[in-house]
Amino acid sequence: MRPTAAAVRAAVISGCMGALALLLRDGAPPVEPLPPGTVLVLPSGGAAAGAGSAPAYTCPLLTLLHAQEGRDELHVDSLAVAEQLAEAGYRPAVYADVLVRAAGEEEARLLPRFDPLLGDAGLGAAGSGRFVCLAAARTPWRPATAARFPPAVQRAARAFLLAARRSASDSAPCLAALARMPAQLHEEILGRAACPLSEVAGVPWGAAAAWLAGWEACPSSGA
């Protein structure tokens, strides 16, 4: 019997990464469409949606965002599950011809296209779930994406780039070599250091940034 997306969602909710790995071993089971007549109450999840209105999403990544509610935004297990799901081929679902009702409204509206990440604030895609979304999208660190990464990573990256520029006047060969590297290589180093996000989350980036900032502020050893 082949695994189903429902089984994948159950493993996501339970946080059992071993079971999830087994279910995804042969690829991602397809996401089922919403059952006919389903009405999505927005925002979904929590008290805002009302008693008894359990999230109806059939997408494991959207299920993960609901499970993230109340957790730290850099919850390592959530980030790892997001990466596991993305590696298997899952992407956040976009639904067609779905009934949607905002909390407090009496009538549901039929939408030809509904993107929950954009239309459902209950998923926290711009709040507590933003780093889960970043991990699921497997977004590489680049200057254009730097602002989407955790603040500690941003500070460490900024300190690294400042140190790289300043090291041109340093007498230490390794530091001078750092300055001679092209900017693209600096970006590649940072891109690799900031991925995968589940491993990056536990790194003491704040201490690294403070050390680099302090070193950058010191007089050059070659002066």
Sequence-separated (6 or more) residues with CB below 8 Å from residue 69: 45, 46, 124, 128
Domain limits, the chain: 5-137, 146-217
Instruction: Count other Cβ atoms within 10 Å, centred on residue 124.
Output: 23
Model confidence at 175, pLDDT cuts 50, 70, 90, reads low
Q: Where are the alpha helices (DSSP H) in 68-150?
A: 76-88, 116-119, 130-137
Q: How far apart are CA 40 and CA 187, in angstroms?
A: 42
Model confidence at 158, pLDDT cuts 50, 70, 90, reads confident
- Bridge partners for 111 per DSSP: 98
Model confidence pLDDT, tens digit, residues 190-221 = 888 888 899 887 777 666 555 555 544 444 44
Model confidence at 88, pLDDT cuts 50, 70, 90, reads very high
- The torsion of the CA quartet 162, 133, 86, 195, rounded to 10 degrees, works out to 20
> 106: which DSSP letter?
S
Instruction: Count other Cβ atoms within 10 Å, centred on residue 143.
Output: 12
Provide mean pLDDT across the span 161-178: 68
